Amino acid sequence: MEDQNIDIITRLNNRFAKMSKSHKAIARFIYDHYDQAVFMTAAKIGERLGVSESTVVRFASGLGYSGYPEFQKSLESWVQNKLGSVQKVHGKYKNSTQSEILQSVLTSDLEKIQDTIRNVNVACFEQAVDSILEAENIYIVGIRSCEPLAEFLSFYLNMIRGNVYNLRTTSASELFEQMIRINEKDVIIGISFPRYSMRTLKALEFASDRNAKVITITDSVHSPINLYSSCNLLARSDMVSIVDSLVAPLSLINALVVALCVKVPDKVKDNLDTLEAVWNNYQVYLNDEINYVGDGLNLSDPMNNKHA
């Protein structure tokens, strides 16, 4: 039997790529509906997914458990630990002042960035930059808590180049509809951190099947989304409280954007000049921003100009 110290989600991650189609369906259900699955019998899960009870039992055995009861006990333990995060945070910080909480959280985030600096693969980073610049189309997928990261990256990639598509969806079928034309000339960037999104995983699997280049931004070499990528950018993202810390991943994305700008400065300048002209023509920002012009600042607040 497998080491009992390995939690159920790690086991799912490690085995997902080699699972049968029916076992993958069960794994996805566990990922997306663990709060329901923990109370369901093997027969109920089978009925829900249209597979036999024996298939669910074999799935549990394939993860290294002696049977479905042990599998369910492991899932229950994982869910209790997940839902107990609020109590853990309260226990850790209940006697701390607000200032101490601030210092503790910021220090923890700083450690995550330092860890990311030590472990990021520079060759993969350079490969990602080149792939993004050479691709015909760029697709970005980040679900749940990773959605702000996907939005940030999409916004700045649009400043640098065209044909950038941020995949927004609440279902796997909508993902496939948005990326139905993806091919070997394209790149998809998948962003996922624990608890990993099965929708992101399926999107990357689909892109890989279409021979698109896959870039991942995730937390570990053991992340399941790395199964379909040869270019993995790792950033540490531990849960410091009831929320995930996304500071290190955001910093990594920021570095990616800066590196892209350095590679094609003229193109970026042309795009920004065009946008500036559009903003001015349509008074999008009413000229109330501070802009760099050459080596100096241009304070273009109309109220300041009025009284100049």
Q: What is the pLDDT of residue 127?
A: 92
Residue given tokens 């699997």 in the structure block: 205
Both tokens of 301, joined, read 């607040």
Q: How confident is the model at residue 263 (pLDDT cuts 50, 70, 90)?
A: confident
Q: List CB contacts of 218: < 8 A, sequence separation 6 or more.
A: 190, 191, 192, 193, 196, 225, 226, 232, 233, 234, 235
Residue of higher predicted confidence among 282 and 23? 23
pLDDT digits (tens, 9 = 90+) for 136-180: 999 999 988 889 999 999 998 988 888 999 998 766 678 888 889
Q: How confident is the model at residue 302 (pLDDT cuts 50, 70, 90)?
A: very low
Q: What is the DSSP letter of 247?
A: H
Of the candidates 179, 157, 159, the residue with the CA atom closest to the CA atom of residue 167: 179
Residue given tokens 């189309």 in the structure block: 137
Tell me the three state secondary structure of residue 182: coil
pLDDT digits (tens, 9 = 90+) for 108-136: 788 888 888 888 888 999 999 999 999 99
- The answer to whether the CB of 237 falls within 8 A of the CB of 193 is yes
Assign 3-state DSSP to the chain and report helix, strand, coil percentages, each to 5: 60, 10, 30
Average pLDDT, the chain: 80
Distance set, CA 72 to CA 6, 75, 178 (Å): 14, 5, 36
Q: What is the pLDDT of residue 169?
A: 74
- The answer to whether the CB of 1 falls within 8 A of the CB of 66 is yes
What is the enclosing helix (H) or strand (E) of 56? helix 53-62
Q: What is the pLDDT of residue 269?
A: 82
Residue 2 has pLDDT above 50, yes or no: no
Domains and CATH numbers, the chain: 8-83 (1.10.10.10), 98-263 (3.40.50.10490), 265-306 (no CATH)
pLDDT digits (tens, 9 = 90+) for 265-301: 888 788 777 777 776 776 655 555 555 555 554 544 4
Stretch 11-25: mean pLDDT, rounded?
Answer: 83
Q: What is the pLDDT of residue 38?
A: 87
What is the enclosing helix (H) or strand (E) of 301? none
Angle at 13 between CA 125 and CA 152, to 5 degrees: 40
Amino acid (one-letter) located at 137: N
- The answer to whether the CB of 270 falls within 8 A of the CB of 284 is no
